[in-house]
């Protein structure tokens, strides 16, 4: 026991160390090109003398950021989009998992429904966004729906294969213990399928940002997508840059958040 | 001294299998896997089923566990017709099939947890069994930190937790290396001696069958039929050294030739 404890403790410490150094090298690896890129950007604008409404300098973008952050505009729009994305992702995950659960039970049903699901995936979100805005208004609802719609598919697919992948011998064992359906679901199927489901949620998380922004572009009066459109209308490219960068940071944070939840929930899984 | 007393004449059988036949339907056509299988298992008996691969041993065991309804024939547990899975039947597969997200203790407790037995009683019974299989120091360990042999011991402990009347083992040591396998055989004998369970074990190894069993039932290749049943007259308790005796060699030889 003692031996095993120290071993696993050592393992954990080693893992943390490795993780820290991995994050360190990742930062170095990612930061260096970024600095180079910003420098090149500044240089290109100065040398080629682009007007700032075509391509603003990084400095200009930075000043625009400070103004927007200072008067709270950026945070207000960010909060709107974050809210839409989180609600959309939650809705998409719930529906996808429920649907995935039903489809994993029946091959026949899957054969019936699958073509329509695939077909629905081939419709570009951009094309149905205006429709949803007409149906559900310019408020948050249409954005949440678009966000959920686009996140649905990867989560659905991963849920179905996760639930299908549950070891049949383990199912036999659960039957021999006379587990109820609910017990089999909560104690075997859900934990066994969780790694797959969460990897689908990770993909869905980044997609859900796209859904919300497309919705905002199609018609809204708030959100980061709206900010981009506003910038376009008044040729304030610096504003557009700020909004786009905020979107990137937001999508990455969301991905990181899901990855964090994943690591928490799947500490047993290696 | 002799294990011959395990014939079903005296005490009523724990499990009786009568005229079991089974056919799998596939796209290529029907495959008959079991044909008219009948035998009985006496209380506290250790019965080994041996046969070439594809003789339907695992199918037979699933039927004996009530997991697969027989197309023809019947299985009775203590005289009652078996119509579905029972808690009185413990199962161990070739793979330990532990839940990787649960500790050793939580894995062993699981069947009791599902049956709604109070937590502290469950943990007490689980810890007793984990001690019995020699893993007292590993109650809190995760399955991924266990060796193959250790994980299989946990599976045995879990199969014993409902205090089943019969233990069905489907090639339980088939995935282990030869050394571990031999040690696990000895370990199983020890547990069997302590708990006095009725055991039916499927194995590929004639050595293992003759060393462990009271009777060895040889199945023919597809479709599986009962070809011959051997009594193993060697005295108990047996240890690993028993397999070097002349009578062991002679019996193993006869089992070998019965398989064909």
Q: Cis bond leading into B237, ω under 30°?
A: yes
So where are chain B's domains?
Answer: 1-88+164-260, 98-163
pLDDT of the residue at B1 = 36
User: How much is the pTM?
Assistant: 0.81
The answer to whether B68 and B42 are in contact (CB under 8 A) is no
| pLDDT tens digits, one per residue of A201-228 | 999 999 999 999 999 999 888 999 999 9
Position A83 pLDDT exceeds 70: yes
So where are chain A's domains?
Answer: 1-49, 58-265
B219 alpha carbon, distance to own chain's centre: 16
Using an 8 Å CB-CB cutoff, list chain B residues near A192: 99
Number of H helices, E strands in chain A: 11, 0
Position B3 pLDDT exceeds 50: no
pLDDT of the residue at A6 = 44
Cross-chain Cβ contact A176/B87 below 8 Å: yes
pLDDT of the residue at A5 = 44
| pLDDT tens digits, one per residue of B89-133 | 999 999 999 999 999 999 999 999 999 999 999 999 999 999 988
CATH superfamily membership of B1-88+164-260: P-loop containing nucleotide triphosphate hydrolases (3.40.50.300)
Cross-chain Cβ contact B65/A176 below 8 Å: yes
pLDDT of the residue at A45 = 85
Nearest to A173 among B66, B91, B137 (CB): B91
Among A106-110, A134-138, A160-164, B232-236, whose mean pLDDT is lowest? B232-236
| pLDDT tens digits, one per residue of A127-161 | 899 999 999 988 899 999 999 999 999 999 999 99
Cross-chain Cβ contact B67/A172 below 8 Å: yes
Cross-chain Cβ contact A175/B85 below 8 Å: yes
Q: Which value does ipTM take for this structure?
A: 0.87
The winner for highest mean pLDDT among A30-39, A104-113, B117-126, B229-238 is B117-126
pLDDT of the residue at A267 = 80
Position A13 pLDDT exceeds 70: no
Position B7 pLDDT exceeds 70: no
- Per-residue pLDDT, averaged over A162-184, amounts to 94
pLDDT of the residue at B193 = 84
Q: How confident is the model at residue B240 (pLDDT cuts 50, 70, 90)?
A: confident
Position B8 pLDDT exceeds 80: no
pLDDT of the residue at A15 = 55
pLDDT of the residue at B181 = 86
Using an 8 Å CB-CB cutoff, list chain B residues near A268: 100-101, 142, 144
- The percentage of residues in chain B with a pLDDT greater than 90, rounded to a whole number, is 53
Using an 8 Å CB-CB cutoff, list chain A residues near B87: 176-178
| pLDDT tens digits, one per residue of A227-265 | 999 999 998 999 999 999 999 999 999 999 999 999 888
pLDDT of the residue at A155 = 95
Q: How confident is the model at residue A167 (pLDDT cuts 50, 70, 90)?
A: very high
Q: Which long-range contacts (CB under 8 A, 24 or more apart) does B194-198 make?
A: B194/B132, B195/B132, B195/B160, B196/B44, B197/B44, B197/B90, B197/B160, B197/B164, B197/B165, B197/B166, B197/B167, B198/B14, B198/B15, B198/B41, B198/B42, B198/B43, B198/B44, B198/B45, B198/B46, B198/B165, B198/B166, B198/B167
What is the Cα–Cα distance from B84 to B87, expressed in whole angstroms? 10
| pLDDT tens digits, one per residue of B136-170 | 999 999 999 999 899 999 999 999 999 999 999 99
The answer to whether A133 and A215 are in contact (CB under 8 A) is yes
Q: CA B5, B65, B167: angle at the middle one, nearest 5?
A: 45
pLDDT of the residue at A20 = 62
CATH of A58-265, one of 1.20.810.10, 3.10.450.50, 1.10.3720.10, 1.10.1370.30: 1.10.3720.10
The sign one gets for the Cα dihedral B211, B214, B220, B222 is: negative
Residues on chain A bordering chain B, Cβ-to-Cβ distance under 8 angstroms? 1, 4, 8, 167, 169-170, 172-180, 183, 187-188, 191-192, 268-270
pLDDT of the residue at A270 = 59
């Amino acid at each position: 026991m003692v031996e095993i404890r120290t071993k696993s403790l050592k393992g954990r410490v080693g893992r943390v160390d490795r993780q820290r150094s991995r994050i360190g090298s990742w930062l170095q690896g990612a930061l260096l090109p970024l600095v180079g890129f910003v420098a090149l950007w500044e240089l290109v604008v100065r040398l080629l003398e682009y007007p700032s409404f075509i391509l603003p300098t990084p400095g200009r973008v930075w000043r625009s950021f400070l103004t927007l952050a200072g008067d709270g505009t950026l945070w207000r729009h960010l909060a709107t989009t974050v809210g839409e994305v989180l609600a959309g992702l939650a809705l998409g995950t719930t529906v996808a998992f429920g649907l995935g659960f039903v489809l994993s039970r029946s091959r026949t049903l899957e054969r019936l429904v699958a073509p329509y699901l695939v077909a629905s995936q081939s419709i570009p979100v951009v094309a149905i966004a205006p429709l949803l805005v007409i149906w559900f208004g310019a408020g948050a609802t249409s954005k949440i729906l678009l966000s959920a719609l686009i996140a649905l598919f990867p989560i659905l697919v991963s849920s179905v294969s996760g639930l299908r992948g549950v070891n049949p011998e383990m199912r036999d064992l659960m039957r021999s213990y006379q587990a109820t359906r609910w017990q089999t679901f909560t104690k075997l199927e859900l934990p066994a399928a969780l790694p797959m489901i969460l990897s689908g949620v990770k993909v869905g998380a980044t997609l859900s940002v796209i859904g919300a922004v497309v919705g905002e572009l199609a018609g809204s009066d708030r959100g980061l997508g709206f900010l981009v459109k506003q910038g376009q209308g008044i040729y304030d490219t610096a504003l557009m840059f700020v909004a786009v960068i905020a979107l990137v940071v937001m999508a990455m944070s969301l991905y990181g958040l899901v990855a964090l939840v994943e690591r928490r929930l799947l500490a047993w899984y290696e | 001294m002799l294990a011959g007393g395990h014939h079903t004449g005296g005490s009523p059988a724990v499990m009786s299998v009568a005229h079991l036949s089974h056919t799998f339907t596939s796209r290529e056509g029907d495959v008959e896997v079991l044909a008219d299988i009948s035998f009985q298992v006496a209380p506290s008996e250790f019965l080994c089923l041996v046969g070439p691969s594809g003789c339907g041993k695992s199918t037979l065991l699933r039927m004996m566990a009530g997991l697969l309804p027989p197309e023809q024939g019947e299985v009775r547990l203590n005289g009652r017709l078996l119509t579905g899975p029972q808690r009185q039947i413990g199962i161990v597969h070739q793979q330990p099939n532990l839940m990787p997200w649960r500790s050793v203790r939580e894995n062993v407790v699981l069947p009791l947890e599902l049956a709604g037995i109070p937590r502290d009683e469950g943990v007490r019974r689980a810890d007793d069994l984990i001690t019995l299989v020699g893993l007292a120091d590993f109650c809190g360990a995760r399955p991924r930190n266990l060796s193959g042999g250790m994980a299989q011991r946990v599976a045995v402990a879990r199969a014993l937790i409902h205090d089943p009347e019969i233990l069905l083992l489907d090639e339980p040591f088939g995935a282990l290396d030869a050394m571990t396998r031999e040690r696990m055989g000895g370990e199983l004998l020890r547990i069997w001696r302590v708990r006095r369970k009725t055991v039916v074990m499927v194995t590929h190894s004639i050595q293992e069958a003759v060393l462990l069993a009271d009777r060895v039932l040889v199945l023919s290749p597809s479709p599986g039929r009962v070809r011959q049943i051997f009594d193993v007259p060697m005295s108990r308790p047996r240890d690993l050294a028993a397999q070097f005796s002349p009578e062991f060699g002679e019996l193993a030889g006869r089992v070998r030739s019965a398989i064909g």
